[in-house]
Amino acid sequence: MKSTILRGLALALGTCVFAGSAMAEFKDRTIRISNGVAETHPVGSGVTAMKECLTEKSGGKMKVNAFWSGALGGDLDATQALRSGTQEMVVTSSSPLVGILPALGVFDLPFLFADETEADTILDGDFGAYVSDMMPGVGLINLAYWENGFRNLTNSQRPVAGVDDIKGLKVRVMQNNIFLDSFLNLGANAVPMSFGEVFTALETGAIDGQENPVVTIDTSKFSEVQKHLTMSRHAYTPFMVLYSKPLWDQLSADEQAALQECAIVGRDAQRKASRDLGAQSLENVKAAGMEVVDLTPEAQAAMREAVAPVYEKHAATIGQEVVDKMMAELKKMRGE
């Protein structure tokens, strides 16, 4: 009987020690996370889900302080702050970061994915992991791919129903040569510009148009300064949930695991919100007065043909191996 009691006490003591040790692996931390979008964007749903997950896993020790609409600077500036170890996290499109890691340009190739299912399969599978494994080499940790979504063209001048209608339009593109060349090939006067400057540039007439997912067009109130929306779906760009590698290396294994797991929880919430809000956002911009054009298959095919040279031109910069691996994964997935 005595030995049974002693074994019970030893087990209880071991459990307490283990629990205390596990709790000690979480320190009180406030993690700043930067976004270029408004809090009403589906990224807000992802951040909320991630925060709740971190609170649960860390016993409230890991807190997230979110900054919206570029309050901590543009996506590229915020990402550079991560690399230098002066900021913890950013949710950013992959597109502004091609100067840091050229391989990310593969996601900018025009008309790459046919639908969201293809995008999810590639990003959450081997290819997504292949790209994420490159990030520590440039001072960043990619915790998950969230959804920016299929990008569509807006402008203030005229309806765009085909390639000829794009010619001569001053269109803001991300600071990214693949987007720049894609729109130059379509005949636009492409203007690289940070996202935070776009609304004012549209409002003042410095540019005629821009291209973004419909949810971003809606939550950024571009309907106030744009008349025409073309559902071009010309590119699908993911958001990346990035953490500073210098600061990541200071975290315990438990803290790192919690961040990775909770970024996935946030991903699922964010993608659901993005897709649920997509249809609503389209109705919102229509109600706000935007005229919407759905491209015919023939018009979209003509656009694909116009931008086809972009693949060959940028393969060397992106990395031929990266492009070949992406195309092989797509062919395998499509059964080609």
Q: What is the structure's pLDDT at 155?
A: 98
- Span 146-176, pLDDT tens digits: 999 899 999 999 999 999 999 999 999 988 8
123 pLDDT tier (thresholds 50, 70, 90): very high
What DSSP line would sit under 276-329, residue for residue?
HHHHHHHHHHHHTT-EEEEPPHHHHHHHHHHHTHHHHHHHHHH-HHHHHHHHHH
- Span 1-25, pLDDT tens digits: 444 444 443 444 444 433 444 444 8
**Residue for token digits 């991630």?**
50
The DSSP letter of residue 136 is: G
- Span 249-305, pLDDT tens digits: 999 999 999 999 999 999 999 999 999 989 899 999 999 999 999 999 999 999 999
Contact 290, 282 (CB under 8 A): no
Task: Tell me whether residue 16 is in a domain.
Answer: no
Contact 70, 195 (CB under 8 A): yes
Contact 54, 262 (CB under 8 A): yes
- For residue 27, give both structure tokens: 């320190």
Task: Tell me whether residue 154 is in a domain.
Answer: yes
Task: Tell me whether residue 67 is in a domain.
Answer: yes
Q: What is the mean pLDDT of residues 63-75?
A: 93
CATH code for position 230? 3.40.190.170
| Pairwise CA distance, residues 246 & 282, whole Å | 41
Other CB atoms within 10 Å distance of the CB of residue 260: 15
Task: Tell me whether residue 21 is in a domain.
Answer: no
CA angle at residue 330 from 324 to 332, to 5 degrees?
100
Q: What is the structure's pLDDT at 320?
A: 97
Task: Tell me whether residue 307 is in a domain.
Answer: yes
Q: Tell me the C-alpha to C-alpha distance, in Å, between residue 234 and each of 21, 62, 92, 202, 306.
A: 51, 39, 19, 21, 12
**At residue 66, does pLDDT exceed 50?**
yes
pTM of the predicted model, to two decimals?
0.84
When divided into structural domains, the chain yields a total of: 1
- For residue 321, give both structure tokens: 């191996």
Q: What is the structure's pLDDT at 195?
A: 86
Other CB atoms within 10 Å distance of the CB of residue 223: 19
Alpha helix (H) residue ranges in 167-239: 177-185, 198-204, 214-219
Task: Tell me whether residue 6 is in a domain.
Answer: no
SS3 91: strand
**Which residues, listed in sequence order, are joined to residue 171 by a DSSP beta bridge?**
190, 209
Q: What is the structure's pLDDT at 219?
A: 85
Give the rounded distance of the alpha carbon of 190 from its chain centre: 22
Contact 32, 88 (CB under 8 A): yes
Phi-psi region of 168 (alpha: psi -120 to 50; beta: other; left: phi over 0): left
For residue 25, give every residue at least 6 positions away whose Cβ sits within 8 Å of its Cβ, in sequence order, or none. 252, 253, 254, 255
Task: Tell me whether residue 22 is in a domain.
Answer: no
The percentage of residues in the chain with a pLDDT greater than 70, rounded to a whole number, is: 93
Residue 67 belongs to domain spanning: 27-334
Task: Tell me whether residue 1 is in a domain.
Answer: no
- For residue 80, give both structure tokens: 């550079």
